[in-house]
Structure 1
């Protein structure tokens, strides 16, 4: 049985998600930040006849993230997702695969990435140049988005600015950057920050300033600050060269993540 989740379900939902806390960091983070009653976020739960939770589906704007055990109601989740004509699907590879076969039509561009994690004990930061790294405020968001817009690999999000402002205001996200002669040349952000973890996103360097170690410097500063707060860090990558950099800093692969754009 699938029904909308409410705040009264929170204890059961969190216990269910904590079976794989890092892989569920988006759902956990969005629940902690925005709860169960907002216009841009909804959650559904799939329950057994005895009341045990076996699946959770999150809608954050038009992105849907499913999570479930072996026997969760795939077709029920698909019916909910398809009611949104602009839906995008994202999640743990093995979970998303179950829904792919049941959704008819074009899902968009598929990207499968490695999902990795770093804890304070694994962190290998050693740069002496972190003094040059600055922490962004809301007034810097337009500059951050302008930098990202110049990166070929980045896909612009029409809700990007709104989401960054909202997340930064409530402490769900932060961005660090480096400037050269007043120009923002490299940045990295977190998203989905919650009480136990955070996701690193938006690692970028302007093309004319690459191969100078700027991305590593902003990464190390962000990692040092977040890990010192007792949280773990996660990120996606599909570029082997980037993967080597992340692993040198202490990240280890823990799964694979599928995104449709």
Structure 2
């Protein structure tokens, strides 16, 4: 049986999702931020005859995330998404969302696959003995963050509402940026996003070309990981190139699956 979830389901749902807090980072974060009554957000679950969860689906505007541990009613969830005329995106652990391929969804877009990696406190290894230069950004630093991201990531400055989006997540407390600087210019940065009570996602790790090979990224990442882990949260991240994942493996990150996005 698939049914819509409400506030009365919160405790049992969070218990189910927290068994894999990193994989469910986005679902947990959106529940904590927006609850069950928002017009732009809905949650459904498939429950067995004993009332235990078998699968969960989140709708955030017209984007969907599906989570399950084993076989589930793929067509039942597909029917809900197919009923959304503005459906735009499906994402989740590859072993789950690949079940929607083969014409299950009317408008399944192009697939993007990335490695999904997790860091727990017991696995953490510092890769820099010095983090004295690392600072945590404030709202006043937004333009400097935008500047270094624009230099480090192709087409970042062309993203619609980049500044507005960054301001929103920083003000809401679900994103932090750690950085080094030289003469007022940020030289290396790493940010968290989708922070919730159990986990946080690392994004936008970047060092200016002229400041590479100085160990700055190691300093920033070590400081970020120490701080977030000390708060009792797991860390996770996506990466595409195995070579680019080397620094994360040195910190103690372990691959826990492949994350697919269809858009």
Map Cα deviations across residues 102-159 of structure 1 (whole Å, 9 max, x no partner). Answer: 1244513x32122121122221114243121111122323332332233346766545
The within-5 A match list for 1:41-60 is: 41-48=41-48, 51-60=51-60
- When residues 239 and 153 of structure 1 are mapped into structure 2, their CA distance, relative to the original with a 3 A threshold, is farther
Query: Which residue in 2 is equivalent to 1:22?
Result: 22
2:101–2:108: 8 Å Cα contact kept in structure 1?
A: no
Cα offset, 1:84, TM superposition: 5.1
Partners of 2:116 and 2:56 lie apart in 1 by 20
Query: Which residue in 1 is equivalent to 2:177?
Result: 175
Q: Unaligned 5+ residue runs, structure 2? A: none
- Mapped pair 1:92 → 2:86: no
Cα offset, 1:188, TM superposition: 1.0
Corresponding residue SS for 1:189: strand
- When residues 197 and 55 of structure 1 are mapped into structure 2, their CA distance, relative to the original with a 3 A threshold, is same
- When residues 186 and 39 of structure 1 are mapped into structure 2, their CA distance, relative to the original with a 3 A threshold, is farther
Q: TM-score, normalised by structure 1?
A: 0.87
2:195–2:201: 8 Å Cα contact kept in structure 1?
A: yes
Moved more, 209-218 or 188-197: 209-218
- When residues 11 and 246 of structure 1 are mapped into structure 2, their CA distance, relative to the original with a 3 A threshold, is same
Map Cα deviations across residues 42-91 of structure 1 (whole Å, 9 max, x no partner). Answer: 22222345543322111234432111243322223223334152512211
1:33–1:172: 8 Å Cα contact kept in structure 2?
A: no
Moved more, 60-69 or 235-244: 60-69
Partners of 2:207 and 2:227 lie apart in 1 by 20
Corresponding residue SS for 2:10: helix
Partners of 1:15 and 1:95 lie apart in 2 by 20
Map Cα deviations across residues 205-244 of structure 1 (whole Å, 9 max, x no partner). Answer: 2334333322222111111111111222111122222211
Query: Which residue in 1 is equivalent to 2:186?
Result: 184
Query: Which residue in 2 is equivalent to 1:203?
Result: 205
Measured on the aligned residues, the alpha-carbon RMSD in Å equals 2.4
Moved more, 72-81 or 250-259: 72-81
- When residues 148 and 100 of structure 1 are mapped into structure 2, their CA distance, relative to the original with a 3 A threshold, is farther
Partners of 1:150 and 1:61 lie apart in 2 by 31
Partners of 1:117 and 1:4 lie apart in 2 by 30
Query: Which residue in 2 is equivalent to 1:149?
Result: 150
1:81–1:87: 8 Å Cα contact kept in structure 2?
A: no
- When residues 81 and 143 of structure 1 are mapped into structure 2, their CA distance, relative to the original with a 3 A threshold, is farther
Q: How many residues align?
A: 260
Query: Which residue in 2 is equivalent to 1:66?
Result: 66
